[in-house]
Structure 1
Amino acid sequence: MNKYYLMLAMASTFSYATPQYIDLKEDTLLDGQLDTSYTLSSSELLRMQSDFIFKSDNEVSKGQYQHNDNVIEFTSTSGDTKKHYLGKRVVDGLYQGTWYSNTLESGDFELAVQSNTGIQGQSCDDVKIKDPSSQSGIQTIELSVDGTPTATNVYCNMDIDQGGWTLVNTREKNGRESHARTLELTDPIVQKNHYLAAATWQALKTNATQIMITDGNNDNYVVFDFSQLDTANCQVLVDDLVNTPVFHSEPGCTYKGSDYTYLSNPSNGTYFTTVSIYNLDFKPSSRNGNYGTLSSGKMFYSPLNIQIYVR
């Protein structure tokens, strides 16, 4: 049957279905986590009871929610290629799992349901992928905060390292005592010492794979992968950005000698903005400018202000 008529036939069955907007991210490496090289497709999902269909690019997908919406299963067809997806609910509106194809390919996927708002994306990275011409500034994204789809204004940096960075924290040197929690962080110039509430940070952290620190100059930045920060033996990436350090790796965890890598020093407020890289077994994935690689690979930089982003 012609695909056009197939869609018409399927759509007629769902003529009274409730539309939802979804983002489907998938990679081609089956390792249990979504890689940074994932592809993103967005579409409107039509659902009736537990059944649903959606069409993205040249693919048609049909599937079901199962076990009180805790499991999602669907098959996507594009020409002669069929891909089968099976995932579980992580939080309301967010599913993660694996896919396999009849061409013996496989990978991981993440499907995010954006309710009925139609807001484009759950991060600045989503916005940039959908519209490569997007400029740095305020964007509205939809996050699942404490299980509730929530429209949130965020500041996006679309310039550094291909853009797509969502601002989560700003810090001033010696600013530890005046560090303030805020529901929305949209102006890195005015909000120089603010951090997002823990629930919002957790929602962004769930969808991200990298963290970036910059001093506000797009030429000065350093990037760490979450997969590496998960191995930090002293402090993995924090669950609440009020905390110091944000991450810390060091044999002995003493902040002494020259074998540590950390963001912010808890024992000295002067170093609230410091990135120190002395543990050469715990180096960033990317760095530039004042955070750049010296001949030794080591680096200590404590500017007046920093901005912390995730992607």
Structure 2
Amino acid sequence: MQYFSVLFPAVVLTFFLGCSRPDAPLQHTFPQPCRLYDMKQAACISDASLVSRLAPYQVLFVGDHHASTAMHARFAELLTTLAGEGRHLLLANEWFVPEDDALLARYAGGGFEGNFTEAVGWSAKAGYPFASYEPIYGSIRNAKGRLYGINMTKAFQKAVSDNNLTAMNDAQRTFFEQLDLNLSAHRSMLAPFFAHCHAKQTGEDAQQCRERMYRVQVAWDSYMGEQSARLAATALQTPDDLLVVFAGAFHMAYGLGVNARFARRSDRPYVTILPVPEGTAAADVGEADYLLFYTPEAPSKERE
């Protein structure tokens, strides 16, 4: 028995080490139908259950499928449910910049007169129909919530892309010089999407183009993360306040984008929700905390 007691731990250790790196990604498979999926519990839940699970949190990251009006309607429905259960909603959206905050406050509060889309420069900022997003903003207005901008201006984005320090002010230069381009998991996740550079600048080779594209992506994520942390520190005033950071899903997948950069600036706990079209069969472990299912639009009949 003494020999066995010495041998057994070594055998067990060898077994577990040998099985610790599966070849295929670990995935959740979903029951159908499923309106919301809790990736920690590995179970479908209701919107009401999600509301109760979010009660301890004041920061929520939600991914966007920009081109899907159906996803926006589903998200607006969830926002309305949260507001109905007493949460005061503060929506921080990537389509706006902090310089828009005064205008956004008037619009959300019902005190704005005139054409909002023209005043905020929607067509230049978003590139998607305002009508698709209007249910989301309408839910914030109906709930007497607030809207905030968290993105970089187009001029700042271009200066980052061009590596042009002279086009930046002091605060922007400090931000640019502190960009962390060495988050290996984030770089690996984006590598397939940046493998082909479709818009090389004059005198730029493919590798330089990829590095420039990645630099801009990191700047987007970092800036939105920092602005979200600023709002978490200044705008969250009561336990019922909920800061909802809404940006493209890929800015938040696997906790490697805006949410990772937020976590470097704030110690506030948060959860991440990513949208999923109904009929999706599986998702990787770790993509998000919750998955929000929506019914996708019917395919266009133009090609029939």
Q: TM-score, normalised by structure 1?
A: 0.23
Higher relative contact order (CA 8 A, sep 6+): 2
The structure with more strand, counted as a fraction of residues = 1
Q: TM-score, normalised by structure 2?
A: 0.23
The structure with more helix, counted as a fraction of residues = 2
